Amino acid sequence: MARNSSQAIESLAAEIGENIYIDIAKWHLYLAEAKLHTVLAEQLFPLLESGRVDESAVTQVLQQISVKVGGGKRELPLSDLLPMQCQVNLLDLLEEFQRNL
């Protein structure tokens, strides 16, 4: 991976980590705190590079990332843990980030 890509992924991860959260019993756990921001950024960055940032592509990525809950007793797709507003915000964030690439 090129240095620029690494820096872009780190920057994207920081944006995601600070702005996007999972909702558990009305508690907001930001993805940086949940240590999910980098994984998500790494999965989403190829979409940005290829210009394929749309709702279905992002939803597919969110569904493919499993989050262990209950000490690993269960795994849920990240898409099930993000409130709809966070998914909308994520799409907006990605579109803005892509414009600045």
Helices (H), the chain: 3-19, 37-50, 55-64, 78-81, 84-99
Check residue 53 and give left, alpha or beta (phi > 0: left; psi -120 to 50: alpha). beta
**Per residue in 49-100, pLDDT tens?**
999 899 999 999 999 999 999 999 999 999 999 999 999 999 999 999 999 8
- Is 67:76 a contact under the CB 8 Å cutoff? yes
**Per residue in 16-39, pLDDT tens?**
999 999 999 999 999 999 999 999
Beta bridge partners of 89: none
